[in-house]
Structure 1
Amino acid sequence: MRVLHAYKAYRPDVDGGVAAVIALLTAAGEEDLRSEILVARGMRGLGQSTAFDGVPSRAVASLGNLFGMPIAPQFPLALAWAIRKADVVALHAPFPLNDIGALAVPDHVGVVVHWHAEILGRRLLAGALAPLTRATLARADRIIVSDQIIAQNSALLRPHLAKCEAVPFGVDAAAWATLGADGCARAEALRRRHPRLIVALGRLVPYKGFDVLLAALPRIDGHLSIVGTGAERERLAQIAADAGVSNRVTFAGYLSAEEVRVHLRAARVFAFPSVTAAETFGISQLEAMAAGLPIVNTALPTAVPLVARHGLEALTVPPRDAAALASAINAVLDDPELAERLGRAAQARAREQFDHARFCARVRAIYREVYDARRG
């Protein structure tokens, strides 16, 4: 069975988030499942073909980005051509160029849509693209969401609830809980420098709410490290300067997975301040849970507060509320017993409920069910 994964960008241009999900799903599994990846360049650049962990990956040339999407006019044709050799195509949404290319899917090819989020905050753009999205969803054999609440809250998905299946994302909990001797030493050194370290992790984009976190920082006795890259970097640095907290913020940029684990080991609390429903699940908060950290997250109408639950693994506050965010972070920093209880429960929940092997097995089973149904 040949499965083609299609999305807007992949390694080395981007990592984490959807790219991390694709990496999990294309890792070695069943012997008779062969994966390929088709993406556009995550930034302006020529097309390239490479392989990651033995999985062929092709990135179509891009002229740049518009509204967070690559300008890759050749992508729909490349997708239509690649689909002809696939048994199942896994379309990772949102990506409008996927929808254009998917118009040419032959009848014998199964279609699985991975619904990571929908386009929010740009009503005119979303309205213009809605017919293409509806066509893809109508053609889809199955639609995978991370939690059923996402399908129930989406006007685009509600007509297709019978095809939607909730498969919670998973992480390698054992790996996120493990750190070698050298990493432990670096984490201890970082903790000595910043004994009340707050870590946040994600792309520097508006819906992540890092501006709200920076607005909360003057009320917090601690040091904040924001791990990630993105277009908001300069604006966030200016917000920190205007708030007078530049000396208590580190913009760590891109870090390897091991260095992320070092930061999580050194931290006292993980802040997850996302502000819109574009944050549907929160893989980074799940990684922090696996590392044993207490979480402070936001009450979004998505799976975010269902993964790390208020009073159990997290303290959950209203989105865009800097005062409430500061109060919750202070509560964890000031109460070691609370932090220990939340962190221990978070690690257990990540290990028991969000295992990456379970996630991959169920998704691959869906691919096979779709393949078998299309083959009759």
Structure 2
Amino acid sequence: MILQVNKMYSPDIGGVETVVKEYSEYLKEFEDVIVLCCHKNFSIKTTKEIIEGVKVYRCASFGSFMSMPISIVFFFYLFILSRKANFIHFHEPFPLGTLGSLLIPKSKKIFVTWHSDIIKQKRVKKIFEFFQEKLCLNATKIITTSERLIEFSRLLKKFRSKVLIIPLSINRKKYLEKALDNVYIKNLPKDYVLFLGRFSYYKGIFVLLHAIEMIDEMIPFVIVGNGELSNEIKNRIKKSKKNILLVDRFVTDDEKKYLLKNSKFMVFPSIYPSEAFGILQLESMIYGKPVINTNLPTGVPWVSLHEETGLTVAINNPKQLAKTIIKLYENHDLVDRLGSGSIERVNNLFCSNVTNKQLHSLYFGS
């Protein structure tokens, strides 16, 4: 049995949750897979369900604090399930999982996928890095998503001999063969520039809004998501005279695909290294859409390459972002060239049929 440990799981959405889902749905073909996670909101009950052949234990929770769920029974289930598992796969950062890893017998085969360092919560980081180091010490292998992330992370550099690079990936069929005829987004303009994601501190949404105000041309923007900054974002857009459609909610998977497929290109203006890879970039690129991203010291500018699949701008620079949006929006040949490069890069490096071979080799040998 394979035990995947993460803070949340589908239908709760996010980049890491997408990865855990992809891993689980692939690995279930070879062994039973259980995902241990927590309820995002307050819940007194631990629920057990089957989602597309994957057994999910969603632990009772006091809700979330600093974007992390708080649960006591999580440790009980981790203790019990880890005794039955042949493989235990932690997804970091997840402080409950990090602490809970102390309950795991050292004889167990432990994998860690290192999605990002703890960035914003600096006091918490000092405490949890001690336990993360212990987890990495006990791990058989540590998986990360790009070489750049190894260079950025102090802990990954320390355990470099254990680190294996497996990029995040997407299943082409789920995107290109998916019928989206029944999807409808009200008031969606034509040829829009898209921002889609959690309204969180590291996403750079206010940098984008500042950049939009600098653009004289009435370029249509569609901003989609929800999160702790929703009210502030809503107020900013209400006061703006620019052509901005706000979809202030988490969209369904089909709606997300529809929005990506019908956009002109996507803006990915993240400002903190909490954004370690950006799987949404791949989801945009598979449809042949260029990405404007930022030059973070993580895998973000490696996923979508400057002048090959998109354009990369400086972090937290609304003036440069505004100029780049205008440049790309007005140059149809550039959009087409970068879009073709996007499809080629995803097919060569980031399709699940490529990365699944690496995952299979990790678990079961060549």
TM-score, normalised relative to structure 1 = 0.91
Aligned partner of 1:236 in structure 2 is 233
> How is 1:151-190 mapped onto 2 (pairs within 5 angstroms)?
151-178=150-177, 180=179, 182=181
Aligned partner of 1:77 in structure 2 is 76
Gaps of 5+ in 1: none
Aligned partner of 1:359 in structure 2 is 355
Change over 3 Å in CA distance of 1:234–1:252 after alignment to 2: closer
Distance 1:223 1:18 in 2: 30
> How is 1:29-68 mapped onto 2 (pairs within 5 angstroms)?
29=27, 31-46=29-44, 47-68=46-67
Distance 1:113 1:19 in 2: 15
Q: 2:195 aligns with which of 180, 200, 208?
A: 200
Three-state SS of the structure 2 residue aligned to 1:215 is: helix
Displacement of 1:159 in angstroms is 1.1
Distance 2:354 2:314 in 1: 31
Q: Does 1:120 align with 2:119?
A: yes
> How is 1:260-271 mapped onto 2 (pairs within 5 angstroms)?
260-271=256-267
Segment drifting more, 171-180 vs 329-338: 171-180
Q: Which has the higher contact order (CA 8 A, sep 6+)?
A: 1
Aligned partner of 2:313 in structure 1 is 317
Distance 1:39 1:186 in 2: 32
Letter matched to residue 4 of structure 2: H
Distance 1:58 1:164 in 2: 28
Letter matched to residue 23 of structure 1: K
Distance 2:202 2:91 in 1: 19
Segment drifting more, 105-114 vs 83-92: 105-114
Q: Work out whether residues 45 and 61 of structure 1, in 8 Å CA contact, stay in contact via their aligned partners in 2.
A: yes
> How is 1:279-358 mapped onto 2 (pairs within 5 angstroms)?
279-358=275-354
Displacement of 1:244 in angstroms is 4.1
Displacement of 1:203 in angstroms is 1.3
Displacement of 1:249 in angstroms is 2.9
Q: Work out whether residues 219 and 326 of structure 1, in 8 Å CA contact, stay in contact via their aligned partners in 2.
A: yes
Three-state SS of the structure 2 residue aligned to 1:309 is: coil
Three-state SS of the structure 2 residue aligned to 1:296 is: strand
Three-state SS of the structure 2 residue aligned to 1:286 is: helix
Distance 2:27 2:59 in 1: 26
Distance 1:29 1:82 in 2: 17
Three-state SS of the structure 1 residue aligned to 2:211 is: helix
Q: 1:211 aligns with which of 206, 210, 214?
A: 206
Aligned partner of 1:93 in structure 2 is 92
Three-state SS of the structure 2 residue aligned to 1:157 is: helix
Distance 1:43 1:224 in 2: 31
Gaps of 5+ in 2: none
Distance 1:285 1:239 in 2: 25
Segment drifting more, 284-293 vs 73-82: 73-82
CA offsets per residue over residues 90-123 of structure 1, 9 Å max, x none?
A: 0001011111211121233100001011110221
Distance 2:126 2:299 in 1: 25
Q: Work out whether residues 112 and 367 of structure 1, in 8 Å CA contact, stay in contact via their aligned partners in 2.
A: no
CA offsets per residue over residues 163-203 of structure 1, 9 Å max, x none?
A: 001111111234323453726x969x97xx52330111211
Distance 2:244 2:92 in 1: 37
Three-state SS of the structure 2 residue aligned to 1:253 is: coil
Distance 2:102 2:184 in 1: 51
Aligned partner of 2:254 in structure 1 is 258
Three-state SS of the structure 1 residue aligned to 2:113 is: strand
Displacement of 1:347 in angstroms is 1.2
Three-state SS of the structure 1 residue aligned to 2:50 is: strand
TM-score, normalised relative to structure 2 = 0.93
Letter matched to residue 69 of structure 2: P
Q: What is the RMSD of the two structures over their aligned residues, measured on CA atoms?
A: 2.0
Aligned partner of 1:107 in structure 2 is 106
CA offsets per residue over residues 273-324 of structure 1, 9 Å max, x none?
A: 1111111111001100001101111000111111111111111101111111
Distance 2:42 2:316 in 1: 33
Distance 1:100 1:29 in 2: 25
Identity fraction in percent: 27
Change over 3 Å in CA distance of 1:346–1:28 after alignment to 2: closer
Distance 1:93 1:282 in 2: 15
Distance 2:179 2:67 in 1: 37
Letter matched to residue 359 of structure 2: V
Distance 1:269 1:178 in 2: 21
Aligned partner of 2:223 in structure 1 is 226
Three-state SS of the structure 2 residue aligned to 1:239 is: helix
Distance 2:30 2:171 in 1: 23
Aligned partner of 2:13 in structure 1 is 15
Segment drifting more, 118-127 vs 233-242: 233-242
Displacement of 1:243 in angstroms is 4.2
Letter matched to residue 131 of structure 2: L
Q: Work out whether residues 60 and 75 of structure 1, in 8 Å CA contact, stay in contact via their aligned partners in 2.
A: yes
Distance 1:25 1:196 in 2: 34
Distance 1:281 1:262 in 2: 22
